[in-house]
Structure formats: C-alpha cells, structure tokens
Structure 1
C-alpha cells in the first residue's frame, strides 16, 4: 500500500522547493527555465508558502514533491513538481487526489503546460482535465471542481440511458398505432411533424 500524504507547506520546506525547482530535469519545463538564486527564491517562497493551496507531498515520510494552487477569484492555477525518482508510479495522481479533497469550494482548475512537457500533459489528461487552448508552445488545460460534479455526471448518465429506453418505447407505440389504425396514426404523426418544424424555426432565433 502506498504511504502517500500531503501536508500544508511550511517555512522549513523552502530549501526542498528550491532544490526541486532548480533541478535540471524539472527546470526545462518551467516557463522561466533559468537557474535562480536562493536569495531570489527565498523572497518568492516567504511571500507565497502560507497561501491556502500550497502543499508538500510525502512518500513514506520523505518529501518527494509539491502541488501549488494560486487562487484568483473562482480560478485556481495548478503547478505540480515531483522528484524524478517517484514519477510513473501513480504517486503524483494520488497526491493530486488528496489535494482536490482540500478544495472545499467550487472552482475551475487551470494548468498551463509547455508543449514539450508530454509527461505533464498525460498527467493532467489522466486526472480529467480538458484541453482549453493550444498555442504554439503552450497548452492550457482546465477542470471543473465541484463537490457534486461526479454526482451530477452520474445522474446525467442514468437519465441518458432511460431516455434511450424511452425512445424505443415511443417507436413501439408508433408501430402499434400504424398497425391498428394507420389513417388516424398518420394524421397525428403529421401534426407532430408540423409542430416540430415550428419549434426548429423558432429555435434558430436563439443562435
């Protein structure tokens, strides 16, 4: 069983964030890929680490990454970094699931990713993010975070399946009607067709 936890980022995590950020493998995927000085990092970290959605990831009590969420109104911009040794083991996905549990408000999650960062693209798609925008070198992904989101999707799927069954039922009624009273059935069907044409005409005014 994977012993994975996330904890609110604390001041003592500064050096770990710095080392992970400046790691050569990670750095090339940041929008600012230059090596940064610790003093500059410290200024940024001290200003941000207390934010509500900054979490440090642990595996077997060892720090292995972080997830940052920078909130702006109803939008949370996501950034995630995991030590290379712990990738491709489903650890990042588990960390992100724990992170989402910490978000108690309805939000839109955004992630901007370099086109060449195929690992992150696969990660966000795996975690149900949808592609919003594709620029030359940057992909923007989003996900609706709603406490009842999965419940809504489940209900919609059930309604869809019921409607499929009802469509069959309507066709069966139509067969019975035309079999037993074709003239009357034809008149009713013609009226339905006429009303549908009127609805379609009125609907075009909404486009």
Structure 2
C-alpha cells in the first residue's frame, strides 16, 4: 500500500506520529526499533521514510546482550525532523502539547496507535464477545493525557476516557468510540497490520 507523503503537511504528520510512537531521539534525529516478528511493519516505515526524505533508509539487524533481536532503522537527518524534535522535547523528556498534536494527520495517528495502542475483547462466560476495549498506552502525566483526550474530542469527535497506571495516564475507549476510531484510521493502516483493527467479529461488540 502506497501513501502520498509529498506534501509538507503529510510529512510533518508522519514524523510527528513516529515521534509519538516507538521512535527514540538520537540528537536532532531519531531511530526506530521493532522486534523480528514485525519485519513487514519495519519495511512499511522504511518505505515511508525513504519517500519522505527522498533518500535510502537502511534497516540494520541488532542483537542485545540478552540475546534479543531487533530491526533498527534511522532516516537521514533533515531540518523538519530537527524542528519537530525541538517542539516535542523539553531537555531529554517528551512533553506532548496540543500544538504538537495539531500537526498530526490521519496517517500519523494510525502509526502512533499501531505503535502504542492495543485492542482487546471482553468476552462472556460462553466465549461470545461482550465488548471492545481500545487502550492508547501513552503513559504521560495527567495534563498531557487531558491534552490528548481534548485533541481527539475536538478534532476527531471521539471521547476517550483516562486510565491511571504505574507509568502515567493512558487513554481508553469502549466499543462505540473504539469501533469509530478503528474505522477512521483503517484507510491509513498498512496491510501487514490490518489484523490489529479488523477482527472478523468487529460488529458483534456492544457497549
């Protein structure tokens, strides 16, 4: 699946989504790591970044001291990336503000969710589906979680609730909002990740 990332708006949105997702800062640039079972997803990001930077993006295989394997990719440094990192980070810490969230495009939000989101089904005793739950594992302070929830409410017309965890706050959506969100991002989800958003019994969950 090919996505058009030639416009400045789309380029900002994609990089913003990656920075909010699994991207890790490396000075004025960033790198991304995924486990071997997500190789197709790594190649999707590799293609996006190559089209965006108009340069090749290498994928390297790495093994940690514990023996865990990872695919790592890092795009060439570019001015846009430097500006976005400066807007997202305060020192070494990410601080998510509404002005940064407003840079996101649907493709950027899809990448952010695929990196940080989960979808689970609540089932009855007989095994049938009772409800859908979507959790955005943003793990941020309350003020940032509220800013994210406000963004989704005002821009996407979706009301997320907040969950407090050991590492910070997360966003949670039940069946109605969860289905609406997954439907909204579906056109921007690569084929290799469609199983994350299109279960065969998606329509059977109720609030």
Fold shared, TM-score > 0.5 on shorter chain: no
Q: Which has the larger radius of gyration?
A: 1
Which is richer in helix?
A: 1
- TM-score after normalising by structure 1: 0.29
- TM-score after normalising by structure 2: 0.29
Higher relative contact order (CA 8 A, sep 6+): 2
